[in-house]
Structure 1
Amino acid sequence: MRHEKVIDKSAQGQDPGGRRGQAFLSWFSVSLTTAFTPVFVLRVLHALTTLVLARMSI
């Protein structure tokens, strides 16, 4: 019984913090994806151009 009560109290105390953390994590992941999308597109384009050039040279 004691364990359940302690777990309940900790869950109640950390609920708003957990929600804030989840919101921050989602915003952080979105900002990361938006920041790295151009780099990813550039890398894909670079790989495609190198493949096309290699095939043309052969």
Structure 2
Amino acid sequence: MVPPSLTSPLPHPAGTVATNRGLLDLLAEYDGLLRRANADRAAVVEILSHDAGAEE
């Protein structure tokens, strides 16, 4: 069973883009979300592969 925390949507960063620094900070936050989403996807694949192996 896949935990809901691995499949629920991630929130948008709450940064503002009033300056170049703000833009860079927002980009860094989105990069962090991308890394987390990819890690969650990898965890789901691992869980599903273990579940598939248990049925055989």
The TM-score normalised by the length of structure 1 is 0.48
Structure of greater Rg: 1
TM-score of the aligned structures, taking structure 2 as reference length = 0.49
Q: Which has the higher contact order (CA 8 A, sep 6+)?
A: 2
Greater percentage in helix: 1
